[in-house]
Chain A
Amino acid sequence: MVKELRRGMVHGIPIALGYLSVSFGFGIKAVRSGLSVLTAAIISALNLTSAGQAAGVEIIAAGGPLLEMILVQLTINIRYSLMAISLSQKLDEKFTFPHRLAASYGITDEIFAVCSAQERKITPAYMYGMIFVAFLGWVSGTALGAAAGQLLPEPINNAMGIVLYGMFLAIIVPPARKKLSVFIVVAIAAAISVLIKYCLEFITSGFAVIISAVIASAVGALFFPVKEDSV
């Protein structure tokens, strides 16, 4: 139990470091949009998501209708539903209903990524440890950014922007190197994502990720079905 919690916390450290810089940017943006430091930190604590929060703050600043808030959050965050279903297949028996209700709060792109890269089943303690550390990075980064504005010099701030993407590559490259099927799925998803970005600009980034991932995975599942025990 304690061991699992600690393992989760250690695995959460790179996530928290990446979050620090991203949420720092969110904090700056929130204050510029007229929110207080406390409000910015509360939004980060309740949502634990980057793109959704940034869009939400814009709607608040513009005084947009609640329906817009609902639709935008649904669109940007619907990818979490896919991740949640995928992760639900990897859960340990200890994951009872209350644990599922609690841990679902912490399904972010990065936490999902690190959890799905684990060879073993996911326990509640492991996920809580990771969520806790990531939460600290996310909320403190928001508060710092909101309070201090541009605290870090610009070149460092810019360079920090790539941290999370570097982590994503570290997760997908090793299995893509070992398995041709994973490599092909990754390549298809990247190709569709590029196509949407440059040719179908009306599609928002949240939808772009969903479309790319669903098509690539559907093709992968059709041509390279996995063995019975490998999920």
Chain B
Amino acid sequence: MSLVLYITVMAGITYLIRAIPFTFFTKKIRSRYLRSFLYYIPYAVLSAMTIPAIFYSTGSVITAAAGTAAALILSYFGMPLIVVALSASAAAFIAGLFL
């Protein structure tokens, strides 16, 4: 099977999955239930993607837990995204030095 065909199919499917709903949902959704559902979706998606995957993101549950703790504390106090993200990484790195 040709490489070009694989890559075309892969990219085509990935694009259509995004483009079809994004392009054709042009009207405001009226149903209060659906609007509430869509309001919660981003938070629910991110939560499900993060937990428990975050604990396996650094190759060691202990360093990942240190990074997670740093991220939770800093985001609780409303620090900017980049600060929280890099501090989580720094905390995981420092914890790794002690292992």
In angstroms, Cα B7 to Cα A127, docked, is: 25
For chain A, give the interface size range.
35 or more
Specify which chain A residues have a CB less than 8 angstroms from the CB of B22 in the assembled complex. 84-85, 87-88, 100, 103-104, 107
Task: Tell me whether B47 and A189 are in contact (CB under 8 A).
Answer: yes
Q: Is A1 an interface residue (CB 8 A)?
A: no
Q: Mark A61-82, 1 if CB is under 8 A from B, else 0.
A: 0010010011001100111111
Q: Taking each of A114, A116, A176, which has the highest tally of chain B beta carbons within 10 Å of its own beta carbon?
A: A116
Q: Is A13 an interface residue (CB 8 A)?
A: yes
Task: Tell me whether B32 and A81 are in contact (CB under 8 A).
Answer: no
Task: Tell me whether A171 and B60 are in contact (CB under 8 A).
Answer: no
Q: Which partner residue on chain A sits nearest B19 by CB separation?
A: A104
Q: Is A147 an interface residue (CB 8 A)?
A: no
Q: Is A31 an interface residue (CB 8 A)?
A: no
- Take A66-B6, A226-B35, A226-B36 as given contacts and tell me if A104 and B18 are in contact as well, using a CB distance cutoff of 8 Å: yes
Task: Tell me whether B40 and A216 are in contact (CB under 8 A).
Answer: yes
A contact face: mostly helix, strand, loop, or mixed: helix
Task: Tell me whether A74 and B26 are in contact (CB under 8 A).
Answer: no
Specify which chain A residues have a CB less than 8 angstroms from the CB of B75 in the assembled complex. 169-170, 173-174
How many residue-residue contacts, CB under 8 A, span A and B? 297
- Take A109-B49, A158-B63 as given contacts and tell me if A182 and B40 are in contact as well, using a CB distance cutoff of 8 Å: yes
In angstroms, Cα B81 to Cα A117, docked, is: 11
User: Residues on B close to A: CB < 8 A?
Assistant: 1, 3, 5-7, 9-11, 13-15, 17-23, 25-26, 28-29, 32-54, 57-60, 63-64, 67-68, 70-72, 74-76, 78-82, 84-90, 92-93, 96-97
Query: 4 more A-B contacts (CB under 8 A) besides A14-B82, A182-B43, A231-B39?
Result: A112-B45, A176-B43, A189-B45, A190-B47
User: Residues on A close to B: CB < 8 A?
Assistant: 13-14, 17-18, 35, 39, 42-43, 46-49, 52-53, 56, 59-60, 63, 66, 69-70, 73-74, 77-89, 97, 100-101, 103-105, 107, 109, 112-114, 116-117, 155-156, 158-177, 181-182, 185-190, 192-194, 197, 205, 208-209, 212-214, 216-218, 220-222, 224-226, 228, 230-231
Closest 6 CB pairs of A and B: A166-B88, A212-B48, A221-B36, A170-B84, A159-B93, A46-B11
18 of the cross-chain contacts (CB-CB < 8 Å) are A14-B82, A42-B7, A46-B7, A47-B11, A60-B3, A79-B45, A84-B21, A105-B19, A159-B90, A161-B57, A163-B85, A170-B84, A186-B47, A189-B45, A194-B52, A209-B45, A213-B45, A224-B36
